[in-house]
Structure 1
Amino acid sequence: MVILISKYLVPNGYMGMTVFPFLLLKSKTLKENRVLINHEKIHLKQQLELLIIPFFVIYVLEFYIRLLQYKNRKMAYRNISFEREAFENEKDLNYLKKRPFWNFIGYYSF
Protein backbone atom coordinates (compact mmCIF):
# COMPACT_ATOMS: atom_id res chain seq x y z
CA MET A 1 0.00 0.00 0.00
CA VAL A 2 1.32 3.40 -1.02
CA ILE A 3 -0.28 6.46 0.57
CA LEU A 4 -0.51 9.55 -1.63
CA ILE A 5 -1.80 12.95 -0.54
CA SER A 6 -3.79 14.91 -3.12
CA LYS A 7 -6.76 17.18 -2.65
CA TYR A 8 -7.23 17.08 -6.42
CA LEU A 9 -7.45 13.30 -6.96
CA VAL A 10 -9.92 12.62 -4.15
CA PRO A 11 -13.44 13.67 -5.17
CA ASN A 12 -15.16 16.47 -3.26
CA GLY A 13 -17.08 15.19 -0.26
CA TYR A 14 -14.66 12.30 0.36
CA MET A 15 -11.60 12.06 2.59
CA GLY A 16 -9.92 9.20 0.78
CA MET A 17 -10.17 6.53 -1.86
CA THR A 18 -8.29 3.43 -2.88
CA VAL A 19 -7.08 2.41 -6.31
CA PHE A 20 -4.75 -0.54 -5.85
CA PRO A 21 -1.97 -0.17 -4.76
CA PHE A 22 -2.59 3.47 -3.87
CA LEU A 23 -4.48 4.92 -0.95
CA LEU A 24 -5.29 8.52 -1.85
CA LEU A 25 -5.98 10.95 0.99
CA LYS A 26 -7.30 14.50 0.81
CA SER A 27 -4.81 15.82 3.40
CA LYS A 28 -1.67 14.77 5.23
CA THR A 29 -3.38 14.83 8.63
CA LEU A 30 -5.68 11.98 7.52
CA LYS A 31 -2.70 9.60 7.65
CA GLU A 32 -3.30 9.49 11.41
CA ASN A 33 -6.98 8.55 11.05
CA ARG A 34 -6.79 4.81 11.81
CA VAL A 35 -10.48 4.19 11.10
CA LEU A 36 -10.25 5.80 7.64
CA ILE A 37 -7.04 3.91 6.85
CA ASN A 38 -8.68 0.65 7.94
CA HIS A 39 -11.74 1.41 5.77
CA GLU A 40 -9.48 1.91 2.76
CA LYS A 41 -7.43 -1.21 3.55
CA ILE A 42 -10.67 -3.20 3.44
CA HIS A 43 -11.15 -1.87 -0.10
CA LEU A 44 -7.58 -2.89 -0.98
CA LYS A 45 -8.39 -6.44 0.11
CA GLN A 46 -11.63 -6.44 -1.89
CA GLN A 47 -9.81 -5.19 -4.98
CA LEU A 48 -7.15 -7.89 -4.69
CA GLU A 49 -9.75 -10.62 -4.25
CA LEU A 50 -11.48 -9.55 -7.46
CA LEU A 51 -8.23 -9.01 -9.36
CA ILE A 52 -8.68 -5.21 -9.37
CA ILE A 53 -10.49 -4.42 -12.67
CA PRO A 54 -13.61 -6.55 -11.93
CA PHE A 55 -13.87 -4.78 -8.57
CA PHE A 56 -14.30 -1.42 -10.29
CA VAL A 57 -16.72 -2.79 -12.89
CA ILE A 58 -18.91 -4.31 -10.17
CA TYR A 59 -18.57 -1.19 -8.00
CA VAL A 60 -19.80 1.14 -10.76
CA LEU A 61 -22.60 -1.20 -11.85
CA GLU A 62 -23.80 -1.64 -8.31
CA PHE A 63 -23.67 2.14 -7.73
CA TYR A 64 -26.01 2.71 -10.69
CA ILE A 65 -28.34 -0.08 -9.57
CA ARG A 66 -28.47 1.50 -6.10
CA LEU A 67 -29.02 4.93 -7.63
CA LEU A 68 -32.08 3.61 -9.46
CA GLN A 69 -33.20 1.92 -6.25
CA TYR A 70 -32.72 4.87 -3.85
CA LYS A 71 -32.76 7.88 -6.23
CA ASN A 72 -30.15 9.46 -3.98
CA ARG A 73 -26.39 9.48 -4.71
CA LYS A 74 -25.29 9.35 -1.07
CA MET A 75 -27.65 6.48 -0.22
CA ALA A 76 -26.60 4.66 -3.40
CA TYR A 77 -22.92 5.00 -2.44
CA ARG A 78 -23.49 3.91 1.19
CA ASN A 79 -25.39 0.80 0.04
CA ILE A 80 -22.80 -0.57 -2.39
CA SER A 81 -21.86 -3.96 -0.93
CA PHE A 82 -18.16 -3.08 -0.80
CA GLU A 83 -18.93 0.12 1.10
CA ARG A 84 -21.34 -1.62 3.46
CA GLU A 85 -18.63 -4.09 4.46
CA ALA A 86 -16.04 -1.33 4.87
CA PHE A 87 -18.28 1.01 6.88
CA GLU A 88 -19.57 -1.78 9.12
CA ASN A 89 -16.06 -2.98 9.98
CA GLU A 90 -13.88 0.13 9.75
CA LYS A 91 -13.67 0.58 13.54
CA ASP A 92 -12.49 -3.00 14.08
CA LEU A 93 -8.77 -2.56 13.50
CA ASN A 94 -8.29 -6.35 13.62
CA TYR A 95 -11.02 -7.05 11.05
CA LEU A 96 -8.68 -7.83 8.16
CA LYS A 97 -6.84 -10.44 10.24
CA LYS A 98 -10.01 -12.49 10.67
CA ARG A 99 -11.98 -11.52 7.55
CA PRO A 100 -13.06 -14.48 5.39
CA PHE A 101 -12.20 -14.51 1.69
CA TRP A 102 -14.79 -12.68 -0.47
CA ASN A 103 -16.70 -11.59 2.65
CA PHE A 104 -18.25 -8.68 0.73
CA ILE A 105 -20.68 -11.17 -0.88
CA GLY A 106 -22.55 -11.32 2.41
CA TYR A 107 -23.27 -7.60 2.09
CA TYR A 108 -25.17 -7.83 -1.21
CA SER A 109 -28.87 -7.19 -0.88
CA PHE A 110 -31.24 -7.17 -3.83
Structure 2
Amino acid sequence: MKWRYPVLVVPSLPANGMALFPFILVKLEKSRFDEAMVRHEIIHLRQQIELLVLPFYFFYLINYLYNRLIYKDHFEAYMNIVFEREAYANDAFPDYLKRRKLFSWAKYFKN
Protein backbone atom coordinates (compact mmCIF):
# COMPACT_ATOMS: atom_id res chain seq x y z
CA MET A 1 0.00 0.00 0.00
CA LYS A 2 1.21 3.52 -0.80
CA TRP A 3 1.14 5.86 2.17
CA ARG A 4 0.98 9.64 2.26
CA TYR A 5 3.77 9.80 4.83
CA PRO A 6 7.27 8.38 4.32
CA VAL A 7 7.78 5.05 6.09
CA LEU A 8 11.44 4.52 7.01
CA VAL A 9 13.01 1.31 8.31
CA VAL A 10 15.23 1.92 11.35
CA PRO A 11 16.52 -1.44 12.67
CA SER A 12 17.85 0.15 15.88
CA LEU A 13 14.44 1.62 16.78
CA PRO A 14 13.57 0.81 20.43
CA ALA A 15 9.91 0.16 19.48
CA ASN A 16 8.22 -1.65 16.59
CA GLY A 17 6.93 1.64 15.23
CA MET A 18 7.08 5.34 15.94
CA ALA A 19 5.69 8.54 14.46
CA LEU A 20 8.07 11.49 14.33
CA PHE A 21 6.43 14.09 12.17
CA PRO A 22 6.45 13.83 9.19
CA PHE A 23 7.94 10.32 9.25
CA ILE A 24 6.76 6.89 10.27
CA LEU A 25 9.64 4.81 11.57
CA VAL A 26 9.44 1.02 11.73
CA LYS A 27 11.91 -1.49 13.10
CA LEU A 28 11.39 -4.21 10.49
CA GLU A 29 11.12 -4.02 6.70
CA LYS A 30 7.96 -6.16 6.73
CA SER A 31 6.27 -3.63 9.05
CA ARG A 32 6.17 -1.14 6.17
CA PHE A 33 3.34 -3.28 4.79
CA ASP A 34 1.51 -3.86 8.08
CA GLU A 35 -1.55 -1.67 7.47
CA ALA A 36 -2.74 -1.65 11.09
CA MET A 37 0.70 -0.64 12.35
CA VAL A 38 1.12 2.11 9.77
CA ARG A 39 -2.45 3.32 10.40
CA HIS A 40 -1.66 3.42 14.15
CA GLU A 41 1.32 5.67 13.44
CA ILE A 42 -0.68 7.86 11.03
CA ILE A 43 -3.19 8.42 13.83
CA HIS A 44 -0.26 9.70 15.89
CA LEU A 45 0.82 11.96 13.02
CA ARG A 46 -2.68 13.43 12.89
CA GLN A 47 -2.55 13.99 16.64
CA GLN A 48 0.81 15.71 16.24
CA ILE A 49 -0.57 18.01 13.55
CA GLU A 50 -3.56 18.92 15.76
CA LEU A 51 -1.25 19.92 18.58
CA LEU A 52 1.25 21.69 16.28
CA VAL A 53 3.81 18.87 16.61
CA LEU A 54 6.07 19.91 19.51
CA PRO A 55 3.30 20.31 22.12
CA PHE A 56 2.19 16.76 21.24
CA TYR A 57 5.48 15.36 22.52
CA PHE A 58 5.20 17.44 25.71
CA PHE A 59 1.63 16.29 26.42
CA TYR A 60 2.53 12.70 25.53
CA LEU A 61 5.38 12.73 28.06
CA ILE A 62 3.32 14.44 30.77
CA ASN A 63 0.48 11.94 30.26
CA TYR A 64 2.95 9.04 30.45
CA LEU A 65 4.58 10.37 33.65
CA TYR A 66 1.19 10.95 35.27
CA ASN A 67 0.11 7.42 34.32
CA ARG A 68 3.38 6.03 35.65
CA LEU A 69 2.60 7.51 39.06
CA ILE A 70 -0.86 5.95 38.99
CA TYR A 71 -0.09 2.51 37.53
CA LYS A 72 3.52 2.05 38.73
CA ASP A 73 4.18 0.05 35.58
CA HIS A 74 5.67 1.16 32.26
CA PHE A 75 3.35 -0.94 30.07
CA GLU A 76 0.16 0.14 31.88
CA ALA A 77 1.28 3.76 31.82
CA TYR A 78 2.02 3.57 28.09
CA MET A 79 -1.25 1.82 27.22
CA ASN A 80 -3.23 4.49 29.08
CA ILE A 81 -1.72 7.49 27.31
CA VAL A 82 -4.74 9.12 25.66
CA PHE A 83 -2.97 9.25 22.29
CA GLU A 84 -2.19 5.52 22.45
CA ARG A 85 -5.71 4.69 23.56
CA GLU A 86 -7.14 6.34 20.44
CA ALA A 87 -4.57 4.75 18.14
CA TYR A 88 -4.96 1.22 19.53
CA ALA A 89 -8.77 1.47 19.61
CA ASN A 90 -8.92 2.39 15.91
CA ASP A 91 -5.87 1.05 14.07
CA ALA A 92 -7.77 -2.02 12.84
CA PHE A 93 -10.42 0.04 11.02
CA PRO A 94 -9.39 0.93 7.44
CA ASP A 95 -11.91 3.79 7.24
CA TYR A 96 -11.00 5.40 10.57
CA LEU A 97 -8.68 8.04 9.16
CA LYS A 98 -11.39 9.17 6.73
CA ARG A 99 -14.05 9.57 9.42
CA ARG A 100 -11.82 10.70 12.31
CA LYS A 101 -12.82 14.03 13.82
CA LEU A 102 -10.33 16.64 15.04
CA PHE A 103 -9.04 16.08 18.57
CA SER A 104 -10.64 12.62 18.76
CA TRP A 105 -7.98 11.63 21.27
CA ALA A 106 -9.58 13.92 23.89
CA LYS A 107 -12.47 11.53 24.44
CA TYR A 108 -10.00 8.91 25.68
CA PHE A 109 -9.31 10.76 28.92
CA LYS A 110 -10.62 8.55 31.71
CA ASN A 111 -13.40 9.82 33.94
Give the TM-score range, shorter chain: over 0.9
- Tell me, what secondary structure is at the counterpart of 1:91? coil
Which residue number corresponds to residue 4 of structure 1? 8
- Tell me, what secondary structure is at the counterpart of 1:92? coil
* Structure 1: gaps of 5 or more residues: none
% identity of equivalent residues = 37
Residue correspondence of structure 1 range 9-28 to structure 2 within 5 A: 10-11=13-14, 14-28=15-29
1:54 corresponds to which letter in structure 2? P
1:3 corresponds to which letter in structure 2? V
Measured in 2, the distance between the counterparts of 1:28 and 1:68 equals 35
**TM-score normalised by length of structure 1:** 0.94
**TM-score normalised by length of structure 2:** 0.93
Aligned length: 107
Kindly provide the CA deviation profile for residues 5-64 of structure 1, in whole angstroms up to 9, marking residues without a partner as x.
1111x21xx210000001000011111111101100100100000000000000000000
Measured in 1, the distance between the counterparts of 2:28 and 2:68 equals 29
Which residue number corresponds to residue 49 of structure 1? 50
- Tell me, what secondary structure is at the counterpart of 1:101? coil
* Structure 2: gaps of 5 or more residues: none
Task: Let me know the Cα RMSD of the aligned residues.
Answer: 0.8
Measured in 1, the distance between the counterparts of 2:8 and 2:38 equals 12
- Tell me, what secondary structure is at the counterpart of 2:25? strand
